[in-house]
A and B are shown apart, each in its own frame.
Chain A
């Protein structure tokens, strides 16, 4: 399935009730060109390779299956980052699957979002945020 249908599917999923789909995104993405990297971290080695050693900045979304606000934040992050034309990637870390990584980065409340650049932690926010707050966070990381 291409990214646009994935976004659409998520938007209408019962767990993502508050997302308004922006159909401009859909047209933009339908050119079959991957607009941004979005991946689930499998383990520490994966984190090392795809986040620490990533040539582009990476936003890491620490979340959990049992966390309500996380399910709302996820699509917002994806929507905003998809608009950045590949300047930043999105890594998702399920804290139950990757406890050690979460512990290392002192994650406590969820969701916690940390921006990484050149292998270093640059900025962070905790909890569900509004779109403009997320956007300025992402912009700060990129520039």
Chain B
């Protein structure tokens, strides 16, 4: 039942047990901003706007996955992305560390096993504490939170349908679409939707994944396959063409090889044909080897699709408003009227994964959201800079990168104008347990003194690349980088020690101290 009387002027209102709302000061039903989507971008934008004394509401709702998984406030990153992924990646690295520790004199058993239930419970508990933390933050920053599915009635009215069925209309001056994307499962493959899990489900699996097949060649497939293998599960990754197609291909190949050397099986140039359940409840996957057109069959406990992430915008009613979306991905076009995030409707913006042709990364969404709030309400003119965004693929041997790939550099400037400095190096700590370091590699792609791209495969690549990304953003040049003194002994110092060019043909293996 509604309780807001539009004739009420000033009141402070507390109502239980339904949604806790507190309206302060001269209250009309008008919002300055309604954000649809409570993920990395949506929450950041809402909180920033509220800090500027604006009346803000954030809508968040999780439509259950194909396997029925659902989660709390915080979006993909918190619940089914970055956070659980990184924790599980770390869990699998700890397995390596335990094995290495023997060489360092620790008394550990020959065989160590990981327990999925203990791990997933610990990860889920942390995620739930973050859900709670976000609820508290929204309250602290005076942002109204509504657990409901939003859609547009008109450019200034958002309809929200709450989980209990009640509907509200929110009149707002501005709106931000921050609904993100969800895993795409190819429904034309028999059994895919019925039996296939996705990253939406993996971190919340009640039972142990067991022998797992990941279908896809994205960083999601590789990261998940990587930690599952590291945790001791029989892991296969089915790749239609090449792994990590969006990344520098030399680095992608090294990453895949490093995973293969750790026991992950790649089924290259294969595509799934069908998935069925056998009498014991296991999944029978029929697949085709594209090289010889042979159909093969294998049984797995878990099949996870990582075949792309698509926008789910059909329920937002964007078409009626004339908000343009990309026909293939359904993502929202920004860039109207010289604003990167403005849609084709003047008071409606899009940030985060839902925004067409921008990196699908949490820090990108957060920064874009904050800058947008500043432009809307803080008088700022600063646009989001989508260039030189660093990122890291958290495969067991991590791949950190800032800038463009070698292929892109060559196509933009011509091979004769590009200089690539590279090195194969061995992290010091690998030496004692005699760990395979043959995939630890760095390259800097330069155009004259300009650094176009820096790529690094090695332990803690994410931590290493962050600092260099700042340097590049501040205009660090090749001579500046190579003139810097390293910290010893680290793997990061190998970046400033780069000196062998691909062009020279010399052996790029780092020797000695």
Report whether B135 and A103 are in contact in the complex, using a CB–CB cutoff of 8 Å. yes
Query: Quick one: which of A43, A68, A96, A100 contacts B20, CB cutoff 8 A?
Result: A100
CB distance from B66 to the nearest CB of A (A): 25
Is A45 interfacial (CB 8 A cutoff)?
A: yes
CA distance A136 to B25 in the complex (A): 41
Q: Which of A21-29, A59-67, A84-92, A116-124 contacts B (4 or more CB under 8 A)?
A: A59-67
Report whether A101 and B128 are in contact in the complex, using a CB–CB cutoff of 8 Å. no
CB-CB < 8 A to A45: which residues of B? 17
Q: Please encode chain B, from 99 to 123, with 1 for each CB lying within 8 Å of some chain A CB and 0 for all others.
A: 0000000000000000000000000
CA distance A57 to B129 in the complex (A): 29
Report whether A96 and B16 are in contact in the complex, using a CB–CB cutoff of 8 Å. no
Is B434 interfacial (CB 8 A cutoff)?
A: no
Could you tell me how many residues of chain B have their Cβ less than 8 Å away from some Cβ of chain A? Answer: 16
Report whether B128 and A100 are in contact in the complex, using a CB–CB cutoff of 8 Å. no
Among residues of B, the one whose C-beta sits closest to the C-beta of A100 is: B20
Report whether A100 and B129 are in contact in the complex, using a CB–CB cutoff of 8 Å. no
Report whether A65 and B128 are in contact in the complex, using a CB–CB cutoff of 8 Å. yes
CA distance A100 to B14 in the complex (A): 10
CB distance from B123 to the nearest CB of A (A): 10
Is A108 interfacial (CB 8 A cutoff)?
A: yes
Is A133 interfacial (CB 8 A cutoff)?
A: no
Report whether B129 and A66 are in contact in the complex, using a CB–CB cutoff of 8 Å. yes
Is A80 interfacial (CB 8 A cutoff)?
A: no
CB distance from B18 to the nearest CB of A (A): 7
Query: Quick one: which of B20, B124, B132 contacts A95, CB cutoff 8 A?
Result: B132
Q: Please encode chain A, from 63 to 106, with 1 for each CB lying within 8 Å of some chain B CB and 0 for all others.
A: 01111100000000000000000000000000110011101100
Is B139 interfacial (CB 8 A cutoff)?
A: yes
Is B438 interfacial (CB 8 A cutoff)?
A: no
Report whether A44 and B16 are in contact in the complex, using a CB–CB cutoff of 8 Å. yes
Could you tell me how many residues of chain A have their Cβ less than 8 Å away from some Cβ of chain B? Answer: 18
CB distance from B186 to the nearest CB of A (A): 35
CB-CB < 8 A to B139: which residues of A? 103
Question: A100-B19, A103-B20, A104-B14 given as contacts; is B135 within 8 A of A67 (CB)?
Answer: no
Report whether B126 and A66 are in contact in the complex, using a CB–CB cutoff of 8 Å. yes
Question: A103-B139, A104-B14 given as contacts; is B132 within 8 A of A64 (CB)?
Answer: yes
Is B125 interfacial (CB 8 A cutoff)?
A: yes
Among residues of B, the one whose C-beta sits closest to the C-beta of A99 is: B135
Among residues of A, the one whose C-beta sits closest to the C-beta of B15 is: A100
Among residues of A, the one whose C-beta sits closest to the C-beta of B130 is: A66
Report whether A66 and B125 are in contact in the complex, using a CB–CB cutoff of 8 Å. yes
CB distance from A65 to the nearest CB of B (A): 7
CB distance from A134 to the nearest CB of B (A): 23
Report whether A96 and B132 are in contact in the complex, using a CB–CB cutoff of 8 Å. yes
Report whether A44 and B17 are in contact in the complex, using a CB–CB cutoff of 8 Å. yes
Q: Which of B1-58 contact A (CB under 8 A)?
A: 14, 16-20
Report whether B17 and A96 are in contact in the complex, using a CB–CB cutoff of 8 Å. no
Is B470 interfacial (CB 8 A cutoff)?
A: no
Among residues of B, the one whose C-beta sits closest to the C-beta of A46 is: B17
Is B136 interfacial (CB 8 A cutoff)?
A: yes
CB distance from A119 to the nearest CB of B (A): 14
Query: Which among B16, B18, B20, B124 has the highest number of chain A CB atoms within 10 Å?
Result: B16
Query: Quick one: which of B18, B19, B128, B136 contacts A96, CB cutoff 8 A?
Result: B128
Q: Please encode chain B, from 130 to 151, with 1 for each CB lying within 8 Å of some chain A CB and 0 for all others.
A: 0010011001100000000000
CA distance A135 to B301 in the complex (A): 52
Report whether B136 and A100 are in contact in the complex, using a CB–CB cutoff of 8 Å. no
Among residues of B, the one whose C-beta sits closest to the C-beta of A67 is: B129
Among residues of A, the one whose C-beta sits closest to the C-beta of B140 is: A108
CA distance A108 to B140 in the complex (A): 9
Among residues of B, the one whose C-beta sits closest to the C-beta of A101 is: B16
CB-CB < 8 A to B135: which residues of A? 99, 103
Report whether A100 and B124 are in contact in the complex, using a CB–CB cutoff of 8 Å. no
CB distance from A114 to the nearest CB of B (A): 16
CB distance from A94 to the nearest CB of B (A): 11
CB-CB < 8 A to A96: which residues of B? 128, 132
CB-CB < 8 A to A67: which residues of B? 125, 129
CB-CB < 8 A to B20: which residues of A? 99-100, 103-104
CB-CB < 8 A to B128: which residues of A? 64-66, 96
Question: A96-B132, A103-B139 given as contacts; is B19 within 8 A of A66 (CB)?
Answer: no
Report whether A100 and B126 are in contact in the complex, using a CB–CB cutoff of 8 Å. no
Q: Please encode chain A, from 2 to 45, with 1 for each CB lying within 8 Å of some chain B CB and 0 for all others.
A: 00000000000000000000000000000000000000000111
CB-CB < 8 A to B132: which residues of A? 64, 66, 95-96, 110
Binding site for B on A (CB under 8 A): 43-45, 64-68, 95-96, 99-101, 103-104, 107-108, 110
The 3 closest A-B pairs by CB, nearest first: A66-B125, A44-B17, A66-B128
If A45-B17, A104-B16 are given as contacts, then 18 extra A-B residue pairs at C-beta distance below 8 Å, sorted by A number, are: A43-B17, A64-B128, A64-B129, A66-B124, A66-B125, A66-B128, A66-B132, A68-B125, A95-B132, A96-B128, A99-B20, A99-B135, A100-B17, A100-B18, A100-B20, A101-B16, A103-B135, A103-B139
Binding site for A on B (CB under 8 A): 14, 16-20, 124-126, 128-129, 132, 135-136, 139-140
What are 29 A-B interface contacts by the 8 Å CB criterion? Answer: A43-B17, A44-B17, A45-B17, A64-B128, A64-B129, A64-B132, A65-B125, A65-B128, A66-B125, A66-B128, A66-B129, A66-B132, A67-B125, A68-B125, A95-B132, A96-B132, A99-B135, A100-B16, A100-B17, A100-B18, A100-B19, A100-B20, A101-B16, A103-B135, A104-B16, A107-B136, A108-B136, A108-B140, A110-B132
